[in-house]
Structures are given as C-alpha cells and as structure tokens.
Amino acid sequence: MSEPTASAPVRPAAVLILAAGEGKRMRSATPKVLHTLCGRTMLGHVVAAARELAPERLVVVVGHGREQVSAMLAETDAAALPVVQEVQHGTGHAVRIAMEAIAAQGAIDGTVLVTYGDTPLLTAATLDALVTVHQETGNAVTVLTANVPDPTGYGRIVRRDGAVERIVEQRDASPQQAAIREVNSGVYAFDAKLLAQGLSRLTTANAQGEEYLTDVLGILAGDGHRVGALTVADHHEILGANDRAQLAQLRRIFNARLTGHWMREGVTIVDPDTTWIDVQVALEPDVVLLPNTQLCGATRIAVGAEVGPNCTLTDTVVGSGARVTNATTEGAVIGEAATVGPYTYLRPGTRLGRKAKAGGFVEMKNAQVGDGSKVPHLSYVGDATIGEGCNIGAGTITANFDGVRKHHTRIGDHVFVGTDTVLIAPVQVADGAFVAAGSAITQCVPAGSLAVARGRQRNVEGWVERTRPDTKAARAAQAAQEAHAAAQSAEAGEPAQREADDA
Ligand code: UD1
Ligand code: CA
C-alpha cells in the first residue's frame, strides 16, 4: 500500500472577511466589528489570524460604518482591500461583490477562504487546518462546523450518509433540522471557480429574502461536487458577538487563552479572572501579576518583575526585578529593580532608572529619573531631568507651566531637595546641591551649595495672651509658661534649700 502523498497546502488565493452588517444589537455609534477585546477590534483579530495564512489577497466587505471600518483597516493592514457593499442583501451577495472586485483585478484560481468579521476567537491554526483539509481532499467546498450545546440562531449542517448535503438557516429549518446540533461556523474554504459558479445561481427564495452564501454548498452538492466539513474541537472558537453581553463573554474566553499562554510560559498570575492582558503584551519568565491588573497595548515586563495589585499599565516597559503596585502608567519606562506606587501616575515620557523610585501619590510626565534617585512621596515631576542618587523630598513640585509654555527643570547628581519645595521652571539645581525645605526655587542653584528660598521665621512672644485672652489657647500657653517658670525656680531653689538644711 502506498502512503498518501501529503502535499503542502498552497496559500489561499484570497481571504474574504464579511463585515458589512450593522450589528443593531450592539446599540452603538461604533460599527460592530470595531468593538474591541484584548487590545484589538473584532475585525482586527480576524484580519490578524487571516494574515498568518499569507493569502495572495485579503478583502474585507464593508457597508455600515464603512468610513470608520476602512480607516481602521488602512491603519492596521494597508494591504487589505476594502470592498463596499452598499446594501446588505445577504452573505452570498457580499461574497459575490468581493469576488467581482477581485475578478476585476485579474483571474482568480485556487482556494478562497470566507470568514466573518464578528468571530474573533477563530485561530490561525484552525483556519490553516481548514485550508489544509480542503486542499488535501480536493473538495469543492469545506465548511468549518461545530457541535454546540444550543444551536439556536445558527445554520444547521444537514448530512446524508455522512456527507454534507446542505445548510439550513434557523428560520428556514423544519423541526427535525432545527434539532441538529452541528452548526455552520460561517467559515468556508471554496474552490474559487466553483464558488463563482455557485454564486451566480443564488436566489432570494428564503425566509429573509437574502442571497445566502450557505446555499452555494447545496448547489455544489446537488451538482455532484464534494462538500466536506471540518469540525472544530473547541466550539467556543466559532462564537460571534451580536451584543455587548456576548462580547464580554468572548473577551473573557480570549483573556483566559492569553493568561493560560503566559502561565505556561512561566508567569505567575495570582488571579487570572481579574488579570487582563492585551494580545501585544510580552512577558518574561518569573514575572508575577497580582490581582486586578490590566496590561494594555505594547506593554513589556522583564524577568522577575512584580506588578499589581490594582495596576493599569499601557505601552509601558518594566525592567527586571522592578516592583509596581497600585499604579496607572502610560508610555513609561521603569528601570531594573525600580519601585513604583502605591497610587502613582506615570505619564508618557517617564523614564525611571535602575533602582529609582516613584512612591506614593507621585505623578510624573516627560521626566527622566536617574539610577537610584528617589521621589518617595506626594510629588509632581513634569518636564524634568533628575540625575543619579538624588532624594526629592515629600511634596516637591516642578512648576513646569507658566500658563502659555512648558519649561524644563534640570537636577544634577546627588542632589537633596527638601520637602515642600517648588522648583519654578526653567531652573537648574546642579550636582551635589541641597535645597532647604519649603523653598520656592526660581534661580539656578550652583553645585554643592545650599539654597534657602523662603521667609525667615519671626516669633512674636505673648501674642496669644494679648490678642486672645481667656481662650483655651491662652490658658494652655499660660499653663505652659507657669510650668516652665516653676521648673526653673525649682532648679534654682534646690541648692539653696540644701544649703539651708546644712546650716
Ligand atoms: C450566518 C450563516 C449561518 C451561520 C452563522 C454563523 C448565512 C446565510 N448564515 O448567519 O449559517 O451559522 O452566520 O455565525 O450565511 N454580512 C455582510 N453582508 C450582508 C450580510 C451579512 O457583510 O449582506 C456579514 C455580517 O456583517 C456578518 C456576517 O456577514 O459579519 C454574517 O452575517 P449575519 O447576518 O450575522 O449572519 P447570521 O444570521 O449570523
Ligand atoms: Ca451573526
């Protein structure tokens, strides 16, 4: 017996993504396929999976909200071709328009993969498996199916002697057909030529008066062509989002995939249910994520860093061994072994050096903090450069905005800034300088000098008793003065008493 020759699958001639529907049940000004989960739009996930198959053409059928959808496509996948379906006459009509647009650019031959813009859980691996099975069997069309607990709303797969005979939509199904639990995912691999032939014979004789893409399978089967099916192992993959409750369900499933992936890669996730990770995030082994943490955008966390609880990190780079707690950061770079939080807000352009610290109730923006420098409490550091080994006291503020323009504050190495200091920019504090607590610094402080910039203290003695007699404050002051006087006279009297006793 000869082994079957396993020919490597050929890349699809085209992937068509249908995304023209309105998605009424989202009740949204945003087109359905632009709603997001895990850091990407639904359509973005579908396009990303499709791209992994390296199709010769990637076509997206747009209709409702086409300006927004096309703009998103242009931004994320400039090579994708949007094709407009003015009126939504059904999935068959949408594919016909897409095939016509492709044909206008030249003959098409090979495999055409069709999928929908609102099924973001489908993986590239599954799409690839469908194309492979399709090409290996030489089917006219191969449909991706799933066995689901509740088939309501889906097209049912009607088989005869095991082979797919046709797909019947929910609204057109007989009670026996409605009981079938094998359903149409809406993903198909077609032979391009047979697809075009089938599309040209579609009618609108159905409950919705639409051209059903699903009818192409019945037409081809009726002509004696082979119609096959591939059933997904995990039926969750085919789930679509028609409303926001379903979108939340998909988001949770997708997130569980991502947290599962990162845990297998060596990341500790204490509470996967409250940890949300975007698709572009990159984590290294022995990262620890504590509960209620969101990692968004292109956030990267290096080996051994601990983040959480209660953190939202967006486009942030965290160095190895750093510790970030109860913080919101965006566009920040946190150095190796640095510490951030709690209740800390790091805004774009913040760069913390090695072992640097941005402590409790500290906000930073466009600020470079050198290695080992600490801003431990209640400070605002904006448009500033801080050198190495500095200590910036509690309540220090860089006054960077004069109402019109932003100005820079430059602090050298090993500078000590006392608490409650305002650094009024533009200003510079040079290496090794000290600033006295409570100063308002408006001029540059030379290296190694002490700057004191505050009113001198003056005590007006007896002021309370004169101006606030018979108050609790006055009585407390009087009692304190009497006690002080008594203590002094006792000190003075003691030796005199001893002398008298001796006499
Ligand atoms: C479709 C399938 C059904 C399958 C289900 C899986 C048909 C006739 N039925 O039903 O068998 O079980 O998907 O989710 O195909 N679209 C367009 N233009 C149109 C109509 C639809 O672009 O004119 C797009 C929609 O935006 C959507 C997708 O095609 O992304 C599916 O359309 P939808 O109306 O949701 O089809 P279903 O009724 O869910
Ligand atoms: Ca649908």
pLDDT for res 497:
53
pLDDT, averaged across the chain? 95
Check residue 492 and give its pLDDT: 86
Amino acid identity of residue 386, one-letter, is I
Q: Rg of the Cα trace of the chain?
A: 36
- pLDDT at res. 4: 46
Q: Which ligand is nearest to the CA of 43?
A: 1
* pLDDT, tens digit, 9 for 90 and up, residues 179-194: 999 999 999 999 999 9
Of these residues, 64, 377, 407, 408, which one is catalytic?
A: 377
| Torsion on CA atoms 205, 209, 211, 214, rounded to nearest 10 | -70
| Proximal ligand: closest to the CA of 212 | 1
pLDDT tens per residue, range 64-93: 999 999 999 999 999 999 999 999 999 999
Whether residue 11 has pLDDT greater than 60: yes
Give the Cα separation of 480 and 502 in Å (integer). Answer: 33
The pLDDT of residue 22 is: 86
Question: Per-residue confidence at 438, pLDDT binned at 50, 70, 90?
Answer: very high
Q: Please give the number of the atom of ligand 1 that sits closest to the Cα of 213.
A: 15
- Higher-confidence residue of 132 and 496: namely 132
Distance CA 107, CA 109 (A): 7
186 CA to middle of ligand 1, Å? 7
* 2-23 mean pLDDT: 79
Asked if pLDDT for residue 231 goes beyond 50, the answer is yes
User: Does 498 have pLDDT greater than 80?
Assistant: no
Q: How far is the CA of 91 from the centre of ligand 1 (A)?
A: 6
Once rounded to an integer, what is the mean pLDDT over residues 286-305?
98
Atom of ligand 1 nearest to the CA of 64: 26
pTM score of the predicted model: 0.91
* 236 is a catalytic site residue: no
CA–CA separation, 215 vs 76, rounded Å? 33
- Residue 345 phi, psi dihedral angles, 5° rounding: -125, 110
H/E element holding 376? strand 374-377
Give me ligand 1 centre to Cα 103, in Å: 23
Q: Minimum-distance ligand to the CA of 97?
A: 1
Quick one: pLDDT band at residue 10, thresholds 50, 70, 90? confident
What single string gives the DSSP state of each residue in 172-223? G--HHHHT--EEEEEEEEEEHHHHHHHHTT----STT-S--THHHHHHHHHT
Q: Which of 16, 88, 116, 235 to mutate to test the pocket of ligand 1 (most atoms within 8 A of CB)?
A: 116
Encoded tokens for 85? 């379906």
pLDDT of residue 411: 98
| Shortest-distance Cα residue to atom 8 of ligand 1 | 212
Atom of ligand 1 nearest to the CA of 88: 23
- Give 108-176 as a DSSP string: --SEEEEEETT-TT--HHHHHHHHHHHHHHT-SEEEEEEE-S--TTSPEEEEETTEEEEEE-GGG--HH
Query: Coil, strand, or helix at residue 104?
Result: coil
427 CB within 6 A, ligand 1: no
Q: Is the pLDDT of residue 121 over 60?
A: yes
d(CA 191, CA 355): 60
CA-to-CA distance for 149 and 169, rounded, in angstroms?
17
- Is the Cβ–Cβ distance between 74 and 62 less than 8 Å? no
Residue 331 exposed, middle or buried by CB count within 10 Å (0-12, 13-18, 19+) = middle
Pairing status of strand 327-330 against strand 333-334: unpaired
Distance 409 CA to ligand 2 centre (A): 56
Q: How far is the CA of 356 from the centre of ligand 2 (A)?
A: 51
Half-sphere CA count of 253, side-chain side, radius 13 A: 19
Pocket test for ligand 1, best of 62, 91, 167, 190 (most atoms within 8 A of CB): 91
Sign of CA dihedral 100, 105, 107, 111: negative
pLDDT tier for residue 1 given thresholds of 50, 70 and 90: very low
Model pLDDT, residue 501: 52
Cα–Cα distance, 403 to 336 (Å, whole number): 36
Cβ–ligand 1 distance for 118 under 6 Å, the answer: yes
Non-local CB neighbours of 499 within 8 Å, separated by 6+ positions = none
pLDDT value at position 3? 45
What is the per-residue pLDDT for 2?
42
* Average confidence (pLDDT) over 308-312: 98
